[in-house]
Amino acid sequence: MPVGSKKGSVIFSGFRALGLYSNHLSHVVRYHKKHREFYIVTAVGNCFHTYNVKKLGIVAVSNALPEDISCLAADRMLVYVAIGGKVSAFARNKEVVHMYTGHGADVHLLLPFGDHIISVDRDNAVIVWDVESEEEYLQITFDKVSFEVSAVMHPSTYLNKILFGSSQGGLQLWNVKSNKLLYTFTGWPSGVTVLQQTPAVDVVGVGLSSGQIIIHNIKFDESLMKFQQDWGPVTSLSFRTDGHPVMAAGSPIGHIGLWDLEEKKLVCQMRDAHNTAIAGLTFLHGEPLLITNGADNGIRVWIFDTAGGGGRLLRSRLGHSAPPTKILHHGLNGHHILSAGQDGTLQSFSTVHERFNRSLGHGTITFFLCQFDARQSDWDSIVACHRGYLMTTTWNYQKGSMGAHKLEPKRFNKNRALSVHATAVDITSCGNFVVIGLSSGHIDVYNMQSGMHRGQYGEDKAHSGAVRGVSVDGLNQLTVSAGADKLVNIWKFKSRKLILSIDLGTSPATTHLHRDSGMFAIALDDFTLNVLDMETKRIVRKFSGHRGQVNDMVSAFTQSDLVMCAYILRTAGPGN
How do residues 251-286 score in pLDDT, each as one tens digit? 999 999 999 999 999 999 999 999 999 999 999 999
pLDDT at 321: 87
pLDDT at 444: 95
Region 291-301: mean pLDDT is: 96
How many CB atoms sit inside 10 A of residue 271's CB?
12
Higher pLDDT, 341 or 228: 228
Whether 392 contacts 382, CB under 8 Å: no
| Residue 412 phi, psi (nearest 5) | -105, 5
pLDDT tens per residue, range 164-208: 999 999 999 999 999 999 999 999 999 999 999 999 999 999 999
Residue 368 has pLDDT above 70, yes or no: no
Region 226-240: mean pLDDT is: 97
- Does the CA dihedral 190-279-273-205 come out positive or negative? positive
pLDDT tens per residue, range 131-175: 999 999 999 989 999 999 999 999 999 999 999 999 999 999 999
User: What burial letters (b/e) apply to 73-107, b meaning 16+ CB within 10 Å?
Assistant: bbbeebbbbbbbbbbbbbeebeeeebebebbeeeb
Instruction: Please choose, from the candidates 213, 296, 277, 222, the residue with its C-alpha nearest in 3D space to the C-alpha of residue 23.
Output: 296
- What is the rounded average pLDDT for all residues in the chain? 89
The full set of domain ranges for the chain reads 324-407+419-567
Q: Count Cβ atoms within 10 A of the Cβ of residue 132 and give its class: 0-12 exposed, 13-18 middle, 19 or more buried.
A: exposed
Beta bridge partners of 107: 121
How many CB atoms sit inside 10 A of residue 486's CB?
19
Residue 61 has pLDDT above 80, yes or no: yes
C-alpha 68/C-alpha 483 separation (Å) is: 41
pLDDT at 4: 45
Which range is least confidently modeled, 40-44, 232-236, 315-319? 315-319
Region 292-306: mean pLDDT is: 95
477: confidence class by pLDDT, cuts 50, 70, 90? very high
330: confidence class by pLDDT, cuts 50, 70, 90? confident
Instruction: Please choose, from the candidates 552, 553, 531, 529, the residue with its C-alpha nearest in 3D space to the C-alpha of residue 540.
Output: 531
pLDDT at 554: 77
pLDDT tens per residue, range 408-460: 888 887 665 568 999 999 999 888 999 999 999 999 999 998 999 999 999 88
Region 516-537: mean pLDDT is: 92
Q: Count Cβ atoms within 10 A of the Cβ of residue 238 and give its class: 0-12 exposed, 13-18 middle, 19 or more buried.
A: buried
C-alpha 203/C-alpha 209 separation (Å) is: 20
Strands 161-166 and 149-153: antiparallel
Q: What would you measure as the largest C-alpha separation in the chain, in angstroms?
A: 89
Residue 17 has pLDDT above 90, yes or no: no
C-alpha 491/C-alpha 511 separation (Å) is: 16
Sequence-ordered list of residues with C-beta below 8 angstroms from that of 445, at least 6 positions apart, any chain: 433, 434, 435, 436, 453, 454, 455, 456, 457, 496
Which range is least confidently modeled, 207-216, 386-395, 564-573? 564-573
| Residue 103 phi, psi (nearest 5) | -75, 145
C-alpha 314/C-alpha 84 separation (Å) is: 36
Which of the following CATH numbers is that of domain 324-407+419-567: 2.60.120.10, 2.130.10.10, 3.30.70.890, 3.40.50.20? Answer: 2.130.10.10
3-state secondary structure of 410: helix
Residue 574 has pLDDT above 80, yes or no: no
Region 115-123: mean pLDDT is: 96
pLDDT at 573: 40
Cα–chain center distance at 75: 26
Residue 340 has pLDDT above 70, yes or no: yes
pLDDT at 6: 52
C-alpha 319/C-alpha 347 separation (Å) is: 8
User: Running DSSP on this structure, what letter comes out for residue 288?
Assistant: S
Q: Please, what is the Cα angle at 95 between 90 and 101, to 5 degrees?
A: 55
pLDDT at 2: 44
pLDDT at 377: 75
Whether 27 contacts 38, CB under 8 Å: no
Region 525-540: mean pLDDT is: 93
Whether 314 contacts 289, CB under 8 Å: yes
373: confidence class by pLDDT, cuts 50, 70, 90? low
